[in-house]
Amino acid sequence: MSRTQYNWSRKSLDELVTFYNERIAPEMIKSQLQPQQTPPRYEWLTEHGFSGLAYTLREHHGLTLSEFFVDIVGVGDSKTNVDSYDWTVDNQETVDTFETYLRSLQTRGELAERTIQSRRSRLAQYARTYQKLHGAADLQSSLTDIERKPEEINRCLEVFDVFNAELSTDGTKLKYLGVVSQFYDYLVDFKQAKYNPVERLNKQFNWTRTEPDNKTVDRQGMSHIYTEADDTVSQVLVLALGAWGLRPNEVASLHVSQFVLDDDGDERIEFEERKNGPGSVAVLFGVETVRTRIAELDGSDWEGYLFPSSQSSTGHITGATVNNRFKRLAADAGVVVNGETPTAKMGRRFWYSIYKDATSTLVAQLEGVAADQGSASPEVVVSNYLSEKDRRGYRREAMADELTAVFGNRK
């Protein structure tokens, strides 16, 4: 039987998510699998012509299949159940310690569930590789005897030799090292280990993080893109990225229940979970646009999503769709960044550039106050003489002015 050839290496991460939902998930249903509950096994992917997914995730995105399905696509239960995870590790003490550590991060560290899932996946991969190399995933018995430190360091070094060969980027290798090192630090902190065997391991590899790609849309470009948005749904999409600083996936799943629009001076979007935990995002521009969008959608069959999709099992569009719509608006507006059509992530970075400008404006406005107080700099005034409430109010005012200058007089 002939197989369809997919150009995996050209697909972005968002495009791979869309591919999963549109191509892989229907095939799983035909095989009586549950694509929203259980990730497909590598053997199944190979049998159905999708084996290239594992390679492109590893080489181009620094992800394992498990990390992609669970952390990126969101397959599985919406709540992380640390104790039900299949570690595929032979040492129960290691498994128990992993689970205790992760529960501590959940409760005391208040980390977002996706962060917990990502750390769990990397710890599991480390333990499995250790087990494959050394016969058992006994990560702890050598840590209570300082005389065994050299041999344990060598065992850990061999694990990262494998990672060095198999993982595609220094950044990904450093993520694994960081997660593993923090786990060992936890053991040291709670007197379960006398040393961290990987704390100086990076010196053996000289891995370095490359500077992030911080290309963004400039003010004029964002203004042109917003002008091109000639309906409310497009306007909300552009504002969500550029004026509120949301991630594409957060934009795609925006729900009316998240908006607090009747708290004068403190309009915001509430998140039960974000990458760094629960939080809220200020809506300093676009309140009336959101209200108009809600009024357009309000009806008996509306499920509350600002970007609904009848063809999606989630009830809303995907982050990939947000990216495609933003790129289409940018292309229609003739906006380019370094010769390329800007992406939704570039639109989100615009918010950060504006926020930085607003903060600089605030500091500049306080130069006179600093001089009157005899302070060394306006930054000292901000930190020592203004209450948190006042600092927040000044930042919001400066940010609102910056956004108005870009997006015009629409509210």
Does residue 345 sit in the same domain as residue 379? yes
Q: Is 392 domain-assigned?
A: yes
Residue 368 has pLDDT above 80, yes or no: no
Q: Is 2 domain-assigned?
A: no
Whole-number pLDDT of residue 113: 67
Structure tokens at 261: 């629009």
- What secondary structure, in 3-state letters, does 36-50 show? CCCCCCHHHHHHCCC
Does residue 227 sit in the same domain as residue 376? yes
Structure tokens at 6: 């997919």
Inter-CA distances, 355 with 185, 395, 396, Å: 35, 9, 10
Final residue of a domain: which of 52, 73, 94?
A: 73
State the Cα–Cα distance between residues 371 and 377, nearest whole angstrom.
Answer: 8
Q: Is 94 domain-assigned?
A: yes
Q: What are phi and psi of 194, to 5 degrees?
A: -95, -10
Mean pLDDT along residues 280-301: 91
DSSP state string for 98-144: HHHHHHHHHHTS---HHHHHHHHHHHHHHHHHHHHHHSS---SGGGG
Does residue 339 sit in the same domain as residue 291? yes
Does residue 341 sit in the same domain as residue 377? yes
Q: What angle do CA 136, 137, 142 make, to 5 degrees?
A: 95
Does residue 256 sit in the same domain as residue 377? yes
Does residue 87 sit in the same domain as residue 179? yes
State the Cα–Cα distance between residues 409 and 261, nearest whole angstrom.
Answer: 18
Whole-number pLDDT of residue 150: 94
Q: Which residue do the tokens 């290496």 mark?
A: 9
Whole-number pLDDT of residue 379: 44
Q: Is 152 domain-assigned?
A: yes
Mean pLDDT along residues 365-369: 50
Final residue of a domain: which of 173, 205, 237?
A: 205
Instruction: Tell me whether residue 384 is exposed, middle or buried, using C-beta atoms within 10 angstroms of its C-beta: 0 to 12, 13 to 18, 19 or more.
Output: exposed
pLDDT band (50, 70, 90) for residue 1? very low
Q: Is 248 domain-assigned?
A: yes
Q: What order of strands is seen across the sheet that includes strand 279-282?
A: 259-260, 268-271, 279-282
pLDDT band (50, 70, 90) for residue 194? very high
Q: What are phi and psi of 5, to 5 degrees?
A: -95, 125
**Structure pTM?**
0.50
Does residue 261 sit in the same domain as residue 372? yes
Query: How many domains are there within the chain?
Result: 3
Q: What is the CATH number of the domain that holds 246?
A: 1.10.443.10
Q: Is 3 domain-assigned?
A: no
DSSP character at residue 24: I
Residue 24 near residue 35, CB atoms below 8 Å:
yes
State the Cα–Cα distance between residues 183 and 158, nearest whole angstrom.
Answer: 18
In 330-411, DSSP assigns E strands to none
Does residue 38 sit in the same domain as residue 137? no
Nearest residue to 221 via CA among 80, 407, 26, 67 = 407
Structure tokens at 213: 């790609």
| pLDDT, tens digit, 9 for 90 and up, residues 141-158 | 999 999 999 999 999 999
Whole-number pLDDT of residue 140: 95
Does residue 42 sit in the same domain as residue 140? no
Chain CA centroid to CA 27, Å:
28
pLDDT band (50, 70, 90) for residue 218? very high
Q: Which residue do the tokens 């699998």 mark?
A: 33
State the Cα–Cα distance between residues 344 and 216, nearest whole angstrom.
Answer: 10
Final residue of a domain: which of 30, 45, 73?
A: 73
| pLDDT, tens digit, 9 for 90 and up, residues 336-356 | 988 889 999 899 889 988 887
Whole-number pLDDT of residue 340: 87
- Sign for the CA dihedral angle at 127, 132, 133, 139 comes to positive
Residue 99 near residue 82, CB atoms below 8 Å:
yes
Mean pLDDT along residues 176-187: 93
Whole-number pLDDT of residue 409: 56
- Residue 305 corresponds to which amino acid? Y
Does residue 98 sit in the same domain as residue 35? no
Does residue 283 sit in the same domain as residue 384? yes
Q: Is 1 domain-assigned?
A: no
pLDDT band (50, 70, 90) for residue 388? low
Residue 207 near residue 174, CB atoms below 8 Å:
yes
Return contacts of 344-348, CB within 8 angstroms, 24+ apart: 344/241, 344/248, 344/251, 344/319, 345/248, 346/215, 346/216, 346/217, 347/216, 347/217, 347/222, 347/225, 347/238, 347/241, 347/242, 348/241, 348/242, 348/245, 348/246, 348/247, 348/248
Which stretch of DSSP H or E encloses residue 260? Answer: strand 259-260
Q: Is 356 domain-assigned?
A: yes
309: containing domain: 219-407
Does residue 66 sit in the same domain as residue 91? no
